[in-house]
């Protein structure tokens, strides 16, 4: 997906905040782009686009064509239905149609005979002179001349259109397209068929539903965006992508004076067919994409390149996955971009095994520029600013508000100054334009260690500006810290430097695995250059985009970054292989690219992951790099390939337990599953391995079949690289012998034996996913066939292990399974009479009313210091999952996320609840009698039930449960947990540091145990229970970490080897031990005698407040205690009125609707 160039809230920081962020290594999130997902609620009469799957075999005989059947079926639904509501008919890669239907029509149509499935249409996003040489392509020798530069192979692009006048699409020296080609060019706005030639052999449009004024619910705040009603490209994305894969040779290509040289695509003589399915701002629909794919396969393309996508769910629910399955069935190789949501784990798009998923890498090319500080220190960065003369005088570095929007960059704040901002993928140029409009003298765009690291994405700035990597930014911070009047100057070289090492690195923005749909299929498959790629650009499109389109510059070439740019590199490489090996299947081409890819950089060291905290020193795992960087020359002769046919993919779908009806969406006429893959879904004949050894699995057995594609007899010997202390890998046979016949096949079996065992109560037994990596290599003197291997366990283990998110949990938690739909604040009216509802470390809360329903809600806006929009969206995902789809009434209700269409500021929308437990407890008079035990029991039953669902169903640890984060609904007598700003998932790597409020932190957290689990929440609930019994007085009140531990052990006794066997091995134990008075007795009962708490109630309290987490109750176990068995749980919550025993809020008190 290409980076969005539209303007957004500026991530400009005060220097104090900047320094704090750098010191804490807190991620500065990407600037927000306009939301393209999430529709508004519609009335039953409002029509929306639906994709309808049909069993074409079931067509009644009285209909002459499928289209006749489809239109008649829709017309029978209502008198208003007519053919103009049809968008597309699918008859090649899948069968059915897309049409505008009301909810009632869709419901009735779903029950019509012959309709096998129906899904609402949805939004999908669009995700070079040096890169061919970087991939080892040479015009005088090797794969280019050997394959005649891909001559005659036709690559189909599903994208934003094409600029036919570009020299990259010249057909000089090309022969006519093959006679079997059925594609055509269609006339339209400023485009006619005569613009096509022997290079551009097809151009059609599939943008129904993406034009101005249509489906604007997908583009909140953006109702009118003009686009050419033709294959002509306004956005620039499609032109850039197509020329990257198949651009003709263009001498003298450059952007200003940068990246000068001869531009050519990876397959310079391949032909281009553009299927425009994306409209304004990179907005596409699944119905249009499916129609484009359907047409491309019918026309006869050889390769499909799609630099777009969204996160997959079940494959049968994804029209794009279904359409691309049909393309592969027809023999078309499909390359798709992995997405730009890195470096987060499980953030991939396009993970189906029939697709080749491409991540992004950096190249060995930089555009150096520097910032000279007032103390003489020179900071080296990058810039595409086209300067005519360097300015050497020093200019004041400005300190501005914590987070600015474009309208806030007023001249009196920035006039004549250099502004320091946190940049992000695609946002730097928009920041520069905004600063320039406000009179700023320059811009320094900095990255922190948690975001882009040293692999800078550069933009064509409109004012003097330099991007700095994390290490240089730290030096800038140190200078500003020491200077009351910091100044700086710029030096621009306008030079392009190649040969920089190490190269490549995995680009920080490139989406990462593991595969969140099927974890046994490794994704991405490969990486290719995707950072700072020069390619063709529409002659009338601005080089950079912002809200006001300030950029007047135009150019024939532009430099762009994203996995959108890496995908066409692989499509071009596939075209070269297709020319040499026209009989190869899509799976064989993918296998050749994967097994010959390299995991080493130009220095012979493992490719670094530029998105990991350690930067260039951290090696990329297969979850980031797949099999490695593609090497087209080596892929031409891979020796062996792993093939897969339609039957293999059908068996894969059957192994996923898809029903016959669901499989029929992929394979029309499918009768039913008769077999599954041996070894599970990991048994697909894939060029990589994932050995899932979770849940105590003793062994995993997987079989692979390789096909010889080289000439003459060959013998291969196997080499295995694995973490032998944890797993034993046995390959049978250990040698593979082939005769001289072409396409001979041999099978081998791999047994992965699990040697790792963790006792249930041993340290490190907390739930989580550990992943280690290795490889299986078949080699001889000529060929090396390498397959990456991932070993997975569901127990956290050695510190050196890479711990990653549990892929199957993505389906449960939704953290990476989907994006949060973003609505508009215009749907709400802010309550001006109540003022703010609260403010704290993580944001401010306001009361609002939904204009249509009148419902009162609370809106939370995050502060910049907390990470802004990225943190808000993360909290939104946690809150949505913790609510368990409405099945957890003891968590504050989640209503969604909205964005201000003017300022682009985002807010979290939640249930508005009366007040917090903290506020109510603090209002109790000092001499009030204790709360009735029945009241405490009712509150604790609700809190523990909410925690149980949160822990067991949603896999979430809250980490900050306290009375301030517990709301009390006065009308329902219900308590609700809120504020998930510090939450983590038990299925992803923990931060391993203390979090939350000191008085409620569990001992193991204070002792810096590296893998604490959900029982830290149980401890916090025990502290809340003690506070309820104790009339609102906190039980443990330390002033710092060791003081808090002393306060805990003064009451519960200092642990020893009998009460907490591994206490002394925790990191902080040796430091705190000398401060303890070695009090060994548990005094808890003395503080809570039977006059305060019954025997059964005390058993619950003491079970929650047990220092040793292995002995502490879980939320589920606590609920099984007889104390809660006296009355049915739900009846208990109804009868024991919580707020009835607490004081009412004072009339003048502001309601605290959510915790902050």
Q: Which DSSP string do the residues of 132-197 spell out, in sequence order?
A: HHHTT--SSSSHHHHTGGGTT-EEEEEES-B-TTSGGG--TTPPPPPTT----B--BTTB-GGG--
- Tell how far CA 87 is from the center of its chain: 30
Number of domains in the chain: 7
Quick one: pLDDT band at residue 64, thresholds 50, 70, 90? Answer: confident
Same structural domain, 1024 and 1044: yes
Q: Any idea which of 5-14, 84-93, 328-337, 494-503 has the lowest mean pLDDT? A: 5-14
Same structural domain, 830 and 725: no
Q: Which domain does 667 fall in, by range?
A: 645-684
């000439």: which residue's tokens? 711
1067 is a domain residue:
yes
Mean of per-residue pLDDT scores for the chain: 80
What CATH number does residue 864 fall under?
A: 3.30.200.20
1077 is a domain residue:
yes
255 pairs with which residues across the strands? Answer: 258
Structure tokens, 1136 = 């024991």
Neighbours of 162 (CB within 10 A): 31
Asked whether residue 800 carries a pLDDT value surpassing 50, the answer given is no
SS3 237: helix
Q: What is the model's pLDDT at position 957? A: 93
Question: Which is nearest to 594 in space by CA: 577, 615, 579?
Answer: 577
Judge residue 349's burial from the number of C-beta atoms within 10 Å of its C-beta, 0-12 exposed, 13-18 middle, 19 or more buried.
buried
Same structural domain, 753 and 654: no
850 is a domain residue:
yes
Same structural domain, 842 and 930: no
């995050």: which residue's tokens? 862
Q: What is the model's pLDDT at position 8? A: 35
Same structural domain, 750 and 782: yes
- Rounded to 5°, the CA angle 301-193-203 comes to 30
- Which is catalytic among the residues 159, 235, 651, 969? 159
Structure tokens, 855 = 């419902």
Q: Distance between CA atoms of 250 and 199, rounded to whole angstroms?
A: 14
Q: What is the model's pLDDT at position 936? A: 93
Q: What is the model's pLDDT at position 272? A: 98
Rg of the chain (C-alpha set): 31
Same structural domain, 936 and 1075: yes
Cis peptide before 524 (omega within 30 of 0): yes
- Tell how far CA 976 is from the center of its chain: 29
Mean pLDDT, range 1129-1156, rounded to an integer: 41
Question: Which is nearest to 814 in space by CA: 316, 125, 313, 318?
Answer: 313
182 is a domain residue:
yes
Specify whether 146 is catalytic: no
Specify whether 955 is catalytic: no
Q: Distance between CA atoms of 798 and 771, rounded to whole angstroms?
A: 11
- Tell how far CA 578 is from the center of its chain: 32
Question: Which one of 894, 911, 928 terminates a domain?
Answer: 911
Mean pLDDT, range 232-249, rounded to an integer: 94
Q: What is the model's pLDDT at position 186? A: 96
- Which is catalytic among the residues 346, 564, 591, 1020? 564
Q: Distance between CA atoms of 86 and 953, rounded to whole angstroms?
A: 41
Mean pLDDT, range 829-846, rounded to an integer: 59
| Cβ contact 360:530 at 8 Å | yes
Q: How many residues belong to the chain?
A: 1156
860 is in an annotated binding site: yes
Q: Distance between CA atoms of 210 and 364, rounded to whole angstroms?
A: 38
Render pLDDT for 688-726 as a digit per residue (tens, 0 to 9).
999 998 877 889 999 999 999 999 999 999 999 998 888
What CATH number does residue 388 fall under?
A: 3.50.30.30
Q: What is the model's pLDDT at position 759? A: 36
Same structural domain, 166 and 229: yes
SS3 388: coil
The residues near 28 (Cβ < 8 Å, ≥ 6 apart) are 11, 13, 21, 422, 424, 447, 448, 450, 451, 867
Question: Which one of 120, 140, 162 terminates a domain?
Answer: 120
Q: What is the model's pLDDT at position 104? A: 81
Neighbours of 669 (CB within 10 A): 10
- Which is catalytic among the residues 56, 215, 237, 862? 237
This prediction has a pTM of: 0.66
26 is a domain residue:
no
What stretch of H or E contains 432?
Answer: helix 428-437
Quick one: pLDDT band at residue 388, thresholds 50, 70, 90? Answer: low
What stretch of H or E contains 118?
Answer: strand 115-120
Same structural domain, 958 and 1047: yes
* 865 vs 863 pLDDT, higher one: 863
Quick one: pLDDT band at residue 1075, thresholds 50, 70, 90? Answer: low
Question: Which one of 120, 152, 182 terminates a domain?
Answer: 120
Quick one: pLDDT band at residue 524, thresholds 50, 70, 90? Answer: very high
Distances (CA, A) of 654 to 282, 361, 667, 680, 924: 35, 35, 12, 10, 62
28 is a domain residue:
no
Specify whether 170 is catalytic: no
Q: Which of 1-10, 249-258, 586-595, 814-823 has the highest mean pLDDT?
A: 586-595
Going 377 to 380 to 385 to 389, the CA torsion angle's sign is positive
Distances (CA, A) of 776 to 645, 648, 786: 23, 22, 6
Q: Distance between CA atoms of 1078 and 841, rounded to whole angstroms?
A: 36
Q: Distance between CA atoms of 184 and 196, rounded to whole angstroms?
A: 9
Quick one: pLDDT band at residue 854, thresholds 50, 70, 90? Answer: confident
Q: Distance between CA atoms of 28 and 870, rounded to whole angstroms?
A: 8
Same structural domain, 202 and 88: no
862 is a domain residue:
yes
Same structural domain, 900 and 1024: no
Same structural domain, 372 and 480: yes
Question: Which is nearest to 35 in space by CA: 229, 234, 287, 215?
Answer: 215
Going 727 to 728 to 730 to 734, the CA torsion angle's sign is positive
Q: What is the model's pLDDT at position 215? A: 44
528 is a domain residue:
yes
Asked whether residue 842 carries a pLDDT value surpassing 70, the answer given is no
Same structural domain, 355 and 489: no
Q: Distance between CA atoms of 229 and 208, rounded to whole angstroms?
A: 10
* 7 vs 589 pLDDT, higher one: 589
Residue 721 falls in which region: left (phi positive, over 0), alpha (psi -120 to 50) or beta: beta
What CATH number does residue 61 fall under?
A: 3.30.70
């Amino acid at each position: 997906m290409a980076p969005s160039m539209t303007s957004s809230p500026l991530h400009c920081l005060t220097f104090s905040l900047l320094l704090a962020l750098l010191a804490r290594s807190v991620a500065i999130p990407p600037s927000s782009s306009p939301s393209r997902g999430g529709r508004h609620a519609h009335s039953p009469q409002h029509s929306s686009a639906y994709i309808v799957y049909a069993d074409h075999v079931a067509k009644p005989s009285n209909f002459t064509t499928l289209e006749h059947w489809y239109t008649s079926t829709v017309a029978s639904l209502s008198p208003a239905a007519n053919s103009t509501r049809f968008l597309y008919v699918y008859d090649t890669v899948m069968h059915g149609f897309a049409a505008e239907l009301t909810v009632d029509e869709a419901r009735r149509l779903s029950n019509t005979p012959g309709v096998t499935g129906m899904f609402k249409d949805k939004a999908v996003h669009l995700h070079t002179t040096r890169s061919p040489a970087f991939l080892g392509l040479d015009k005088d020798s090797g794969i280019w001349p050997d394959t005649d530069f891909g001559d005659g192979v036709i690559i189909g692009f599903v994208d934003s259109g094409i600029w036919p006048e570009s020299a990259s699409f010249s057909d000089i020296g090309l022969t006519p397209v093959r006679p079997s080609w059925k594609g055509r060019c269609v006339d339209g706005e400023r485009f006619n068929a005569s613009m096509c030639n022997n290079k551009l052999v097809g151009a059609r449009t599939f943008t129904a539903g993406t034009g101005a004024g249509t489906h604007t619910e997908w583009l909140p705040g953006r109702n009118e965006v003009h686009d050419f009603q033709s294959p002509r490209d306004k956005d620039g994305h499609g032109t850039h992508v197509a020329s990257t894969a198949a651009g003709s040779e263009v001498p003298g290509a450059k952007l200003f004076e940068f990246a000068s040289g001869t531009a050519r695509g990876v397959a310079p003589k391949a032909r281009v067919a553009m299927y425009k399915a994306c409209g304004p701002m990179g907005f596409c629909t699944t119905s249009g994409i499916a129609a484009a794919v359907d047409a491309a396969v019918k026309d006869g393309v050889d390769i499909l390149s799609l630099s777009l996508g969204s996160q997959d769910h079940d494959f049968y629910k994804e029209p794009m996955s279904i359409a691309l399955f049909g393309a592969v069935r027809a023999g078309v190789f499909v390359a798709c971009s992995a997405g730009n949501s890195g470096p987060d784990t499980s953030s991939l798009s396009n993970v189906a095994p029939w697709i080749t998923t491409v991540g992004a890498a950096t190249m060995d090319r930089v555009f150096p520029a520097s910032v000279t500080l007032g103390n003489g220190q020179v900071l080296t960065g990058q810039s595409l600013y086209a300067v005519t003369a360097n300015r050497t005088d020093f200019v004041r570095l400005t300190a501005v508000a914590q987070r600015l929007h474009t309208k806030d960059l007023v001249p009196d704040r920035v006039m004549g100054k250099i502004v320091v901002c946190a940049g992000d993928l695609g946002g730097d140029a928009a920041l520069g334009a905004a600063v320039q409009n406000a009179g700023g003298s320059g811009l320094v765009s900095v990255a922190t260690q948690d975001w882009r690291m040293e692999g800078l994405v550069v933009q064509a700035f409109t004012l003097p500006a330099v991007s700095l990597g994390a290490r240089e930014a730290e030096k800038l911070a140190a200078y500003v810290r020491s200077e009351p009047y910091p100044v700086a100057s710029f030096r621009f070289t306008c030079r392009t430097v190649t040969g920089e090492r190490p190269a490549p690195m995995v680009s920080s923005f490139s989406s990462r695995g593991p595969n969140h749909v099927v974890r046994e299929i490794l994704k991405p498959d490969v990486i290719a250059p995707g950072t700072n790629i020069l390619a063709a650009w529409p002659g009338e499109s601005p080089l950079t985009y912002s809200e006001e389109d300030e950029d007047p510059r135009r150019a024939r070439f532009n430099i762009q970054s994203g996995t959108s740019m890496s995908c066409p590199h692989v499509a071009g490489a596939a075209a070269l292989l297709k020319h040499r090996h026209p009989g190869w299947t899509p799976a064989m081409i993918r296998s050749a690219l994967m097994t010959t890819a390299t995991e080493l950089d130009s220095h012979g060291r493992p490719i670094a992951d530029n998105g990991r905290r350690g930067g260039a020193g951290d090696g990329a795992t297969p979850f980031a790099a797949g099999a490695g960087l593609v090497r087209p020359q080596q892929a031409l002769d891979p020796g062996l390939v792993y093939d897969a046919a339609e039957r293999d993919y059908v068996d894969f779908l059957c192994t996923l337990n898809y029903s016959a009806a669901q499989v029929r969406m992929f394979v029309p006429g499918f009768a039913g599953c008769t077999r599954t893959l041996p070894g599970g879904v990991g048994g697909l004949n894939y060029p990589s391995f994932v050995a899932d050894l979770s849940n105590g699995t003793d062994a995993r057995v997987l079989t692979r079949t390789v096909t010889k594609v080289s000439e003459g007899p060959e013998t291969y010997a196997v080499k295995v690289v694995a973490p032998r202390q944890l797993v034993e890998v046995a390959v049978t046979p250990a040698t593979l012998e082939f005769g001289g016949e072409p396409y001979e096949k041999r099978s081998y079996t791999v047994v992965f034996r699990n040697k790792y065992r963790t006792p249930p109560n041993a340290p490190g037994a907390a739930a989580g996913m550990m992943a280690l990596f290795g490889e299986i290599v078949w080699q001889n003197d000529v060929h090396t066939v390498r397959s990456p291997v991932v070993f997975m366990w569901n127990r956290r283990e050695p510190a050196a292990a890479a711990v990653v998110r549990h892929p199957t949990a993505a389906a449960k938690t939704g953290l990476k399974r989907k994006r949060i739909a973003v609505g508009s604040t215009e749907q709400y009216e802010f309550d001006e009479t109540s003022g703010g509802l609260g403010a704290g470390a993580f944001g401010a809360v306001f009361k609002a009313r939904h204009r249509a329903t009148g419902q009162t809600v609370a809106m939370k806006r995050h502060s910049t210091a907390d990470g802004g929009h990225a943190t808000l969206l993360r909290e939104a995902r946690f809150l949505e999952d913790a609510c368990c789809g409405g099945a957890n009434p003891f968590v504050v209700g989640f209503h969604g996320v909205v964005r201000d269409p003017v300022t682009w500021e985002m807010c979290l929308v939640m249930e508005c609840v009366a007040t917090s437990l903290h506020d109510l407890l603090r209002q109790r008079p000092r001499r009030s009698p204790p709360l009735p035990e029945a009241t405490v029991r009712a509150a604790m039953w609700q809190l523990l039930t909410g925690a149980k669902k949160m822990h067991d169903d949603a896999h979430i640890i809250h980490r900050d449960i306290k009375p301030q984060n517990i709301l009390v609904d006065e009308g329902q007598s219900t308590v609700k947990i809120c504020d998930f700003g510090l939450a983590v998932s038990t299925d992803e790597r923990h931060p391993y540091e203390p979090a939350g409020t000191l008085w409620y932190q569990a001992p193991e957290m204070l002792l810096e145990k590296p893998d604490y689990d959900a029982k830290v929440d149980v401890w916090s609930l025990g502290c809340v229970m003690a506070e309820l019994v104790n009339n609102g007085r906190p039980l443990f009140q330390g002033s710092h970490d060791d003081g808090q531990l002393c306060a805990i052990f003064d009451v519960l006794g200092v642990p020893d080897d009998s009460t907490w066997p591994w206490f002394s091995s925790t990191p902080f134990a040796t430091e705190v031990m000398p401060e303890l008075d070695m009090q060994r007795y548990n005094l808890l009962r003395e503080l809570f005698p039977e006059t305060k708490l019954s025997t059964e109630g005390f058993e619950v309290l003491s079970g929650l407040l047990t220092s040793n987490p292995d002995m502490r109750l879980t939320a589920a176990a606590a609920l099984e205690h007889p104390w809660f068995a006296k009355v049915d749980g739900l009846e208990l919550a109804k009868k024991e009125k919580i707020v009835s025993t607490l004081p009412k809020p004072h009339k003048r008190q502001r309601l605290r609707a959510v915790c902050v």
